Structure 1
Amino acid sequence: MTAIVCMTEAHVATITIRRIDKRNALTQAMWTTLAAEIGALAKAGRTRALILTGEGDHFCAGADIAEFESTRHDAASARVYEAANVAAFSVLRNAPFPTIAAISGICFGGGFGLAAACGLRLADSTARFCIPAARLGLAYPRDAMIDIVAALGPQMARYLAFSADVLSADDALSARFLLNIERERPTMEAARELADRIAQHAPLSVAASKAAILATLDADQPLARKAAAMGDSTFDSADYAEGRAAFANKRKPIFQGR
C-alpha cells in the first residue's frame, strides 16, 4: 500500500499520509516522498490549494521512533534524517499555493511540525497536539521549530517543548494554532470547501499574498548556529540513548543530563 497518496481535482490537491497501523507515523523514506510530492505539485504549476491529512482516525504520530536506532542514533545520522523532515516542512511552508491541514486525533512531533508548516489548520474535537522531544532526550532543529513558533508564538512553543504536555483541540484553538474546530461536519469536508473557495480566486494574487506574509515571518536569528550545535549534541547524549531504550521497553526514562 502506498504510504503517501496524492490526488488532484479542480486545482485542489490532497495528500494523505496512509499508515494506519502506526497512526500514520512517518518513516525516513516517507519524509522524502512527502517532500517530493509537494515539490512536484509546485513545479507543475496547476495546484491552487493543497490539503494535507492522515488516513483514518489520526493525522500523524510524527516520526517513526521504532526506526531511530538505525536511522537517527547519533548526531551525524540525525543530521541526515533531519534533512528529510526539514525538507518536508520547508516545501510546505514555501509552496506557491495555500496549504491546509485537516486534523483528527493524534498530531504529535513531526506531525505537529507538518501541521504548523501548513498555512491554515482545521481540526475536529478529537485532535490532540504534542511535542514529545523532551521525553525522548532529543531536540528539534531550528528549521523544524520555525513553523511551530510562528504558529503558536514563542511562549506556547516553549511550554509545549519544555513540558511535552498534550494540548486538546480546544486549547489549540485558544492558542490560535487552529483556525476552527469542526464540530458538525467532517474536517475534510470543511477543508475541501475552504480549498475550493481559495482556488476560485486569482492564483497570482494569492501566491503574492502568501509570499508577503512569509517575508514578515522570517525567522533568521544570530543564534541559529549555536542552536544547531546544541541540538546536534542531544543525539550523542546518554539521555537520548536512554530515551530510545525506554520507548522500546515501554517504561519511563530516567534522564541524567549528560
Structure 2
Amino acid sequence: MENLILLQRHANHSATLWINRPDKRNALSVAMWAAIPARVAEAIADPDIKLLFVRGAGGVFAAGADISEMPKVYATAEAALLNDEKIQGAMKALEECPKPVIALIEGPCVGGGCGIALACDLRIGVEGSRYGVTPAKLGLVYGAGDTRRLIQAVGISMAKDILFTGRLLDSAEALACGLIDRLVTSDQLETVAADYAAKIGAASVYSIRAQKQILAMLRGGCDDAEASRALFGASFTGEDFKEGFAAFMEKRPAQFPVR
C-alpha cells in the first residue's frame, strides 16, 4: 500500500503526502486510510520537513471512499465501525500534526476526500475543482468529528445545506462559503505552494508548533489560559526568540534552527 499513499520530500523544507490512485480517481480503500497515519508520522519525525502538503495524483484530489469495498466494509454495523476507526485515525493524524498541513486541491474533492481536506490547516483549490459531502445520497451519517470540522470551515447553516442535500459545490462557491481558503488557477498552484513553503520554512518552528497547540485548544472549546501563558512565556527564553530578536535588530533575515 506504500505506493498508494506516498510521502515525497522536497528541497524547500516541505513534503507532499500523495493520494496516489489516479486510475480509480484516488478513491480511498480501507488499507489506504490505514496507511495515512504512518506517512504523517514519518513527516513529523523528519526535522527537515516544516510543511506538509496533501495532494491527489492525476489532477484529482479524491473522489471519496472505494465503492467496490462497500459490500464488505458495510456488511454489518460492526464492520462499518471498524472501518470508521481507520478513517478517523487518518483524519486525527492530519488534524493533530504539529506541523502545518495544506491541502492542494485539483478536480473532485468529495466524501472522504473532502473530509481529508477539512482535516488540513488550510485548503487551496484550483479553479474547476468541485466539493461535496454526500452521506445523505447513500443513507449514511457523517460522524461528529467530520461534522465539527465542516462546521468550523463553513458555519452551521452552510453545513446543513451541504449535508442535507449532498450537492456538489463549484470552486467559486467553495471559496465564498469558506470550504476552501484560497482559489488559484492551475498555472498558479505550484508557485503558490512554493511561496507557502518558503515563508513557513523561514519561520520559527517553535512559534508555529505552539500556535497550533493554542489553536487546537480553542477549536476544542478549551480556553486554557494557563497552558497558553506557559507557551507564551517560554517563547521569551527560547533560542528562536533570541535569534529572531537579534535578526530584527540587525535588520537581517532570521536563521531559526531546524528541529
TM over 0.5: yes
Counterpart Cα distance in 1 of 2:139 and 2:186: 39
Q: After the TM superposition, which residues 158-169 of structure 1 pair with which residues of structure 2 at under 5 Å, given as runs? A: 158-169=160-171
In structure 1, the residue matched to 2:120 is: 118
- The residue type paired with residue 180 of structure 2 is L
Three-state SS of the structure 2 residue aligned to 1:56 is helix
Size of the aligned set, in residue pairs, is: 220
Is the contact between residue 127 and residue 186 of structure 2 (CA under 8 Å) also seen in structure 1? no
Three-state SS of the structure 1 residue aligned to 2:54 is strand
Q: Aligned in 2, Cα 1:22/1:199: closer, same or farther, shift over 3 Å?
A: same
**Deviation readout 1:42-86 (Å, 9 max, x if unpaired):** 234442110000011210011112101112222111111011111
Supply the RMSD in Å over aligned alpha carbons: 1.7
Alpha-carbon shift at residue 219 of structure 1 (Å):
6.1
In structure 2, the residue matched to 1:128 is: 130
Alpha-carbon shift at residue 189 of structure 1 (Å):
3.3
Larger radius of gyration: 2
Is the contact between residue 113 and residue 145 of structure 1 (CA under 8 Å) also seen in structure 2? no
1:43 equivalent in alignment to 2:55: no
Alpha-carbon shift at residue 184 of structure 1 (Å):
6.4
Counterpart among 92, 97, 100 of residue 98 in structure 1: 100
In structure 1, the residue matched to 2:248 is: none
Alpha-carbon shift at residue 16 of structure 1 (Å):
0.9
Counterpart among 14, 20, 23 of residue 22 in structure 2: 20
Q: After the TM superposition, which residues 131-142 of structure 1 pair with which residues of structure 2 at under 5 Å, given as runs? A: 131-142=133-144
Q: Aligned in 2, Cα 1:106/1:44: closer, same or farther, shift over 3 Å?
A: same
In structure 1, the residue matched to 2:64 is: 62
In structure 1, the residue matched to 2:9 is: 8
RCO (CA 8 Å, sep 6+): is it higher in 1 or 2? 1
TM-score by length of 2: 0.80
Counterpart Cα distance in 1 of 2:144 and 2:41: 22
Alpha-carbon shift at residue 135 of structure 1 (Å):
0.6
1:157 equivalent in alignment to 2:165: no
Q: Aligned in 2, Cα 1:18/1:84: closer, same or farther, shift over 3 Å?
A: same
- The residue type paired with residue 17 of structure 2 is I
* Structure 1 segments of 4+ aligned residues over 6 angstroms from their partners: none
Counterpart among 167, 170, 176 of residue 174 in structure 1: 176
Q: Which runs of 5+ in 1 are unaligned?
A: 221-258
Counterpart Cα distance in 1 of 2:137 and 2:162: 11
Deviates more, 1:71-80 or 1:43-52: 43-52
Counterpart Cα distance in 1 of 2:57 and 2:180: 20
Alpha-carbon shift at residue 37 of structure 1 (Å):
0.4
Counterpart Cα distance in 2 of 1:158 and 1:219: 21
Identity %: 30
Is the contact between residue 27 and residue 65 of structure 2 (CA under 8 Å) also seen in structure 1? yes
